[in-house]
Every structure is written in C-alpha cells, then in structure tokens.
Structure 1
Amino acid sequence: MTRKTMHLILGNDCAVTVHEPPLPLTPRFSLSGEYVTVSPHTDQPTHETLLSETFGSVDWLWSGDDEFRFAAADRGLRGVILTVPETLATDAESDRMRSWGRAPRVPGNVRAVDSRHFDARPTRVRWVSETGDQVVCAYESGAGGASQDVLRLRSAPCFDLVFVDRALSGWILDRPADFLVQEWEYAPSRPAPDGVADVLRDCLGTFGEATIGRMQDGEAAAPEVLRSLRARAPTCRRTPVATCCATSWAGSWRAGVTRLPAESRRAGRPSAAVPARPRFDLRHPRGTLYGSIGQA
C-alpha cells in the first residue's frame, strides 16, 4: 500500500488520503491569539463563507476544537486553524518533536474519504527549536519508539502535518517569525526584521502555562521577563511579537472558563465560581456565526 492509497486519521475518526498538490496558501501565526491559520479567508465574512461551503471540524460554541475544513465538491482540505498550546514540552517530548523536524518532507494535501463533520481536539504541548526556526505542536505525551512510521506531509509552504503510525500526531511551522500577524490579515511579504526570531523563540520557550499562572498570582518577576524580551528587540517594536511582549497573557481564557487566583485554587473553589467568558466570541476572529448550525 502506497502513501497515496493508505488511510490516515484526522481528529477523532476522520479518514483521509494523501493527494497533490499542497495548499498554495501562506501560513499566518497570531501570537496574541495563539493560533496558526492556513486558509483562504482573511476576515470574519470570508470565514463564514468558507464554513458554508465546506465540512469538517470547527471551534463552535465552547468546543475548543481545531478547524479542518474540506471542500464539499472534491473533499480536499481547504484550510485549517490550529491552536498553539500553552503547555511546554518535557525533555522526552522535545526529543520526539525534534525528530519530526528531521524527517523527510513529502509534498501533498489530504482528502477526506467521506463528507461528514468530526471533532478535532487541539494539540497539547509545544516545542520551539533552539534556533527559533521551527514551532512544533503535538497531541499526545510520550517519547515514542524508533519503529514508528512518521509521515511529514508538506501541506502548505513552511507548514507540515505530522502523522505517526497513520494518525495525526502534530504539526510543524517553519520560520514562524516570518508569518507573525495580529489576527487573520495576510502575513508580511518580507522576512522578519533582525532579532524577531530570537525574541519569538524565547517568548514561546518561556511563557507557558506555568509562567502565566505565576503572573496571575502576582509574582513581580514574571512581567519583568516580558519587558526584558521587548527591550532586546528595539527594531521590531511594531511587530506582533513586540506587541505581545508588551502585554500580559495573564487574562487568557480557555474553553469558556477563566483561571482562578492562587488563593481561590488553594481554597478548592470550582472554576464555575468565576463568571465564564466564552472563547466563542463574535468580536474575536476565531468566533463564528455558524456555531452549531455549521456542524448540523
């Protein structure tokens, strides 16, 4: 069985096959929004149009799902929106994800075997390479074995879907600093200014879930790290990475539930004690008017 005829699995149970060519779309990395977009839409109206013309997974209501949208006509992948997780990879996970970056690239896209909606939970951990030239996000923990079959599918310029033993296990974005945006606008046409890649590397490698928790707990040292990162890149103050470094991520919301202050967590108060702000928000670029209609 060749790679083009074997069935691969996306999300919970979406079977796909490999076909050509890759998507002719430039990736976009919203650091403040914590998601990567490889899709033809550039704003809310065009996103709504895309949802109406495609099927697949979508972040509707408070599901928190990643978005994989397939064309109704030929079932080929049209676009994705993928969450960049806050949790940093452990050493064992980093070794596994680093090995994906050494796997040979196979150009191609994926096509769904049948036309139906499915669930696609976001990746769980992230890793950034020592040089800052790769961001890798993975679903499951564990180092994995050498006997595993890794398919690194170059689905768009500088963007790979990684399948391990035929199941989607993560994804890779090369040269992430070159694709920084605020929301869904087009990525810059020129490479990032000097210093941006290094600051982005340290930003992604430093500000994980634990650091955000310390900021919310009021530790004075955490905001100072943000200020020092921004000071290291005076030539890129107007770029998204500088904007993100100038603000606190302490107000991040996940799946409609906000984080609790340290004293509340120690007291064992449930998250429901704090008014929830839905991640599904029409004012946010990842919000969608379709919601459950888009999944009906």
Structure 2
Amino acid sequence: MRLVLDDNWTATVAGDPLRHTPRFDFRDFRVRVAEYANVEERGRFLLDTFGSQPWLWDTPDELRFDPEGRDLVGAEFQVAGESADPEDSARLSTTPAVRPGSLRADEALDFRLEVTAELCRAHGDTVLTCLRDLDVLDEPLEARIGIAPDTALLIQDGTVVGWSLTDPARYLTTGFAAPDPNPPSPATRRLLTECLDLITTPLLYEVRNRNPATLARLRALDKALRNQCEDRHRANALLALISNLVEDYADRPTGQKP
C-alpha cells in the first residue's frame, strides 16, 4: 500500500513496526514513539533523520525516517484538544483491524504532516483517536497501520487521516521518561477520564472562564491525584498538567491573566 502524507510526498507500507514503547506525555499532551530520552538526544535525532518536524512557530506532527534505508524510526503526535461529541465519537468504526507494519519513504525528502484537529474518545478512554477532521467519519477507513505497540495510523483513500493510541492510561508519563511497566490501576484509569474531561473542550472553556462549579471539580481532581497512594508515576504525570490549571485559574485572583 502506498500512502500520501503531504501533497505528492508518499511512503509505502513495508517492514516491521517500531518496538519503542509509546510515551503519553500528559503535561505536553503529546505521544512520543522514539528512543530519545531528553532534549539533547531529541535534537541529535532530528539532525540524523528526515521527515516532518517543527519549524519556528509551526508544530506539525512528526514522522521521522532513517536517511539510509528510508525506514520509519520515530514519531511524535500532538493530542487534539477539540473533543468530538460522544455521538460523533460513536461513529468511529472499529474496523478494519489494526495491521502491524511500518513505513518506508519513497524519497529522502522532508515534508509537512498536519496536526489532527478532532479527538474521539472511546468509552472509558480505552482508545484515543485523533482525526484530521470529522468528515473522516463519513466514509469507512481503508486501513489501520500499527506502527508501534498500541499506536496506529488511520488510512482513508490512500491518505493518512489520523492516528490512535490504545490503552492510553498504560503509557502515561511526563517529559521523556519511560512509562511505568506495571499495569495502571483502576483508579488511574478513572482519573485519566476526569482529566481528559477538564482539559478538552467544551469543559476547558469553562475552566478558562472560571465557572465556579467547574473550578470546584478541578480542585477536587487535583486533590484526588495528590492523595492517590498507588501508581504514583502516572498520578504525577496527570498532576503535572492539572496542578498548572489549578494555579492559573482556580488559585489566581479573578482579573489576573495566567
């Protein structure tokens, strides 16, 4: 299968998927699938590979390829902050099944990969799916390519139209740290859903507008994360963003801009 990622830039589905464990950096709201473990290593990785990457104020999603074999060696995706209505999320088909595979660039040239705009959340947030737009839901998907553990690209009419992360609670972390290898606790899964409710639209608007009921909910969530005794690595990953929202909107006097 040949895929179109940016105008005339194409890649072929070939090879084995990446073995890197996904890292769901909740504070930055992005998913990293790569070997680099800090900013310096990431900088070297970008210099040694080609593909899509940030440029000045532009922050597209990233697929990076090895110059020699042109095989996919890493990816980084921004989680969309616009949460689709439950009715739209329910329209997302579970077929076709994920097919493990990788990508091989047809040419060693840089390209642009637009960030996705819509977040579809499965029941219980067992899967997070980010789509180019909701028009994708009007037609069946052609394929799901599993480029890494629990990480897939969504294909429609030969074009990449989104990506998905299955069991996102498992991969919660902060920055470049590896996720906890132990399974997430049931409490963490529930808290992830509460966090996603508050940091995506429409409730995020209520947080920013300092709706009293929503801020009370935010403070209660902050307290629950601080008091969770088990699964601390993941709880801290969630808290890294929630505590910032509490500081900016719940603790800051009205009228002061964050």
- For the aligned pair, the TM-score class normalised by the smaller chain equals 0.7 to 0.9
Cross-structure match for 2:155: 163
Q: TM-score, normalised by structure 1?
A: 0.76
The answer as to 2:215 corresponding to 1:218 is no
Q: Which AA in structure 2 matches 1:76?
A: D
Please tell me whether the aligned partners of residues 92 and 142 of structure 1 are also in contact (alpha carbons under 8 angstroms).
no
Q: Give the C-alpha shift of residue 232 in structure 1.
A: 4.8
Find the residue that maps to 2:244 and give its secondary structure. Answer: coil
Q: How far is 1:135 from its partner?
A: 0.9
3-state SS in 1 of match to 2:245: coil
Q: Secondary structure at the match of 1:142?
A: helix
Tell whether 2:189 aligns with 1:197: yes
**In structure 2, how many angstroms separate the alpha carbons of the residues matched to 1:40 and 1:96?**
35
CA RMSD of aligned residues (A): 2.5
Matched, 1:74 2:69: yes
Counterpart of 2:242, as a letter, is C
Instruction: Name the structure 1 match of 2:119.
Output: 126
Alignment CA distance shift 1:133-1:91 (3 Å): closer
What's the secondary structure of 1:32's corresponding residue? Answer: coil
Residues 1-296 of structure 1 mapped to structure 2, 5 A cutoff: 6-91=1-86, 93-97=88-92, 99=93, 101-142=94-135, 144-145=137-138, 148-232=140-224, 234-235=228-229, 236=231, 238-248=235-245
Sequence identity, in percent?
A: 24
Q: Per-residue CA shift, 1:18-66, capped at 9, x if unaligned?
A: 1121001100001110100001111111111111111111112101211
> Structure 1: any 5+ residue segments left out of the alignment?
1-5, 252-262, 264-273, 275-296
Name the SS of the counterpart of 1:106 in structure 2. Answer: strand
Q: How many residues align?
A: 247
- 8 Å CA contact 2:198, 2:218 repeated in 1: no
Alpha-carbon distance between aligned partners in 1 of 2:125 and 2:134, rounded to the nearest angstrom: 22
1:49 aligned counterpart, secondary structure: helix
The unaligned stretches of length 5 or more in structure 2 are 249-254
Match of 2:65, as an amino acid? F
Report the TM-score when normalising by structure 2.
Answer: 0.86
Q: CA deviation at 1:162?
A: 0.8
| Cα distance in 1 between the residues matched to 2:200 and 2:247 | 11
